[in-house]
Amino acid sequence: MQDEPEDDSRSRVVLTRSLPDGPSRRLARYVVAQVWREPDPPPDAWLRESCVGAAGLLATPADRVGEDLLLACPTLRVVSNLAVGTDNVDVSALTRRGVPLGNTPGVLTAATADLAFALVLAASRRLVEARDAVLDGSWRTWDPGFMLGLELSGATIGILGAGRIGTAVARRALAFDMHVLAWSRSGRPLEGTGVERVEMVGMDRLLRESDVVSVHVALDASTVHLVGAEQLASMKPTAVLVNTARGPVVDQRALLDALVSGRIAAAGLDVVEHEPIDPGDPLVHLPNCIVLPHIGSATVATRAAMAELAVDNLLAGVAGERLPSCVNPEVYGD
Ligand code: DGY
């Protein structure tokens, strides 16, 4: 069921998910919120109809915000995405129409880096396979050759993408005594203290030399299938691939082949090409692949902080003020 907008002189905004109590109450002081409360994302038709006449939209990575929506809803003064990634939004269409787009960088860095490192550990030490062995009775005795995995201490991790989350993962890897290589399109070194020992390298070398490759690039036209069959083939057969960025950055069919053929050892994925993945998808059933349901930022504290920032962006946009976190500052003539 969705909330019916009240007859009110305040501006109306549309939310495709309900928010925690704090940011929700703050929002209600300034605007009337029409909220989609069903478990599945709202259908395009609901989104379009609700946004007609609305001043703002708060969307999530599960919603597609395209030019068609903007054309149908010219009153929208702001789109606030409850995520740092904005690949679900046609950013150029918003910019062309002067509509600012907000996102939630920074507040989710630690939670997402933690989850990435949890996958590094789980895939390297075969945690899910080992638990399955307990459940199915194939654990018979202590055996020196049973469930051997990759030792992280002294191993090399390659970080693809040197932004906030990649840098936070590098810090965690250094604390585990790993060698850290990193690649970014710009080639600029990682920023901040504690990452001086990270070596910036070309992508070929990173793939060739890393025992673990962790993906942290944003999704755009240039990063679709950045890791494909050729890149997987250049990795070590003992290597582990982790993706907590966006599914389409890795060619999922090529990854399935590489995992089945033993071309690489294991993968840990928090994101897949089409979410939610079909539970019958062979990738989900491979013993050497862990698939999680896009929970990188899913801690109570982080989701609350994301909601606060998304509400800040939404309210600023509705009021015609500059968004605290704006993806397309060109709309302000910058
Ligand atoms: C983001 O913010 O882009 C994340 O993927 C959501 O957890």
**Strand duo 78-81 + 179-183: pairing:** unpaired
Whether ligand 1 lies within 6 angstroms of the CB of 161 is answered as no
The 10s digit of each residue's pLDDT in 111-144 is: 999 999 999 999 999 999 999 999 999 999 999 9
Active site residues: 246, 275, 294
Q: Rounded to a whole number, what is the distance in angstroms from the first to the last CA of the chain?
A: 41
Among protein residues, the one whose CA lies closest to atom 6 of ligand 1: 83
Atom of ligand 1 nearest to the CA of 108: 2
Let me know: does 215 contact 242? Beta carbons within 8 Å. Answer: yes
Instruction: Looking at the CA of residue 306, tell me the nearest atom of ligand 1.
Output: 2
pTM of structure? 0.95
Query: What's the pLDDT tens digit per position in 166-210?
Result: 999 999 999 999 999 999 999 888 988 889 999 999 999 999 999
Co-location of 59 and 154 in the same domain: no
The structural domain count of the chain equals: 2
Residue minimizing CA distance to atom 1 of ligand 1 = 83
Considering the domain architecture, whether residues 103 and 191 belong to the same structural domain is answered as: no
Query: What was the pLDDT predicted at 193?
Result: 85
Kindly tell me if the per-residue pLDDT of 6 is higher than 90.
no
User: What is the residue with the minimal CA distance to atom 7 of ligand 1?
Assistant: 297
DSSP readout, 160-201? E--SHHHHHHHHHHHHTT-EEEEE-SS-PPPPSTT-TTPEE-
Task: Tell whether ligand 1 has an atom less than 6 A from the beta carbon of residue 85.
Answer: yes
Say what the pLDDT of residue 314 is.
98
The band of 9, judged by pLDDT with boundaries at 50, 70 and 90, is: confident
- Considering the domain architecture, whether residues 59 and 95 belong to the same structural domain is answered as yes
Report residue 164 as tokens.
């906030």
Residues 113 and 93 in one domain: no
What is the per-residue pLDDT for 8? 61
DSSP code string of 196-229: TTPEE--HHHHHHH-SEEEE-PPPSTTTTTSB-H
- Whether 114 and 177 map to the same domain: the answer is yes
| 163 CB near ligand 1 (under 6 Å) | no
Phi and psi at residue 117, to the nearest 5°? -75, -30
Average pLDDT over residues 60-78: 97
Do 42 and 162 lie in one domain? The reply is no
Q: Find, among 116, 119, 137, the residue nearest to 127 by Cα.
A: 119
**2 confidence band (pLDDT: 50, 70, 90):** very low
For residue 148, tell me if it sits in a domain.
Answer: yes
Average pLDDT of the segment spanning 14-41: 96
Identify the residue whose C-alpha is closest to ligand 1 atom 4: 83
Among 17, 108, 114, name the best residue to mutate to test ligand 1's pocket (greatest count of ligand atoms within 8 A of Cβ).
Answer: 108
Range of the domain at 147: 109-291
- The letter for the amino acid at 54 is A
Same domain, 224 and 207: yes
pLDDT value for 5: 44
The domain that holds 77 is classified in CATH as: 3.40.50.720
232, exposed or middle or buried, with CB in 10 Å at 0-12, 13-18, 19+? buried
Per-residue pLDDT at 233: 98
Q: Are residue 85 and residue 129 in the same domain, yes or no?
A: no
Q: What is the pLDDT of residues 77-102, one digit of tens each?
A: 999 999 999 999 999 999 999 999 99
Ligand 1 site, residue 84, Cβ cutoff 6 A: yes
- Does the residue 65 lie in any domain? yes
Say if residues 82 and 314 touch (Cβ distance below 8 Å).
no
Is residue 74 included in any domain, yes or no?
Answer: yes
- Same domain for 205 and 265? yes
Identify the helix (H) or strand (E) that includes residue 33: strand 32-35
Helix (H) or strand (E) holding 119: helix 109-124
The reply to whether 158 and 274 lie within a common domain is yes
2 falls within a domain? no
Q: Which residue from 219, 104, 113 is spatially nearest to 165, judged by alpha carbons?
A: 113
The HSE-up count of residue 174 (CA atoms within 13 Å, CB side) is 16
Place of tokens 């990063």: 223
The response to whether residue 116 sits with its C-beta less than 6 Å from ligand 1 reads no
- Is the domain of 208 the same as that of 286? yes
Mean pLDDT of the region 28-35: 97
Q: Give the model's pLDDT for residue 1.
A: 40
Question: Is 61 in the same domain as 90?
Answer: yes
Please work out whether the CB of residue 296 comes within 6 Å of at least one atom of ligand 1.
Answer: yes
